[in-house]
Structure 1
């Protein structure tokens, strides 16, 4: 139907690919661990929105430019890497907050909590982390067409259907990851200081991922 074949294999392969760690998973885990599952879900929704941008761009043939133009690929790569590094620096600079009306002694005695981010900002973090990663665009161009018949009546339509299925399954996994991370953090009773350093550790990983993306080659 719609020129799509081996749909079951596509869904299984997509699930396995979603299990691979990357900037998206790290962002979801970081926000879920420090602010709860709702923050992780906000990041997941932003990632899903970014994925849809890649899907529509690839279906319309716009992402092919990234595969054929070294200049376009390099430009998007550096912008994406810079944003991921920016997010990482923000995590590294996380601080503790205390009640405004507490005196110095009480502030030292009380358990402080990591400053939370608004869900809207977390959503856009997820969106930009995904949409500025050219590897995602190249992935869709390389992976999805393998499941579209050469004689498909409308290849863009088939691409959109497969991309939407992939994104839907990915969202199920991402929200599950957010819930699991938040639950594990609650069960382990992570202290505010530990949560702060977890956030900073994730920030360091984001810096490493940004550097890796910046140094990646076009294939």
Structure 2
């Protein structure tokens, strides 16, 4: 005979991202606090101008551009790199600038910028709501490491602002009086890391100098 008692069962949702119980200890105010800490990168303005505009790009935009460019180049050239690690490195690359600000490539203080950036990464690592246990370690890996992923990241990180300058009639170069030798020197390491990109850059440096965008010195 059928029982007079029924057991109520809540239908399971196989598509749910989380079960309630494991997330009980997580405070969403902490989660959103950290997300707003990351949002601050949008307030860090760089020197390069966004193409077809009159405004400078911010570091968050650069980080996105860097991640997409690294991904595309890695795929196109069939490079033997860990794509997940590469993209993580690109995304954290400029996070230290939230505290340190952006340092222009040809600035005299460029060689000490990493000190404040490293301190900024330590602060972000310790912020409540940060769910990325190795955030500072990934930043350190791209900053000082010599992996294939770190090498590619450095190449593309130099390529992108050069590309923006080239397509904004050298506006930043002209405003700050950048010389041909400064640009050539800053990109010289790419010859050993990625010769096709270096060859392309060298030709465009010649072009930019002839256009008067770079001081021929």
Common fold by TM > 0.5: no
Q: TM-score range by the shorter chain?
A: under 0.3
More RCO (CA 8 Å, sep 6+): 1
Greater helix content: 1
Normalised by the length of structure 2, the TM-score is 0.25
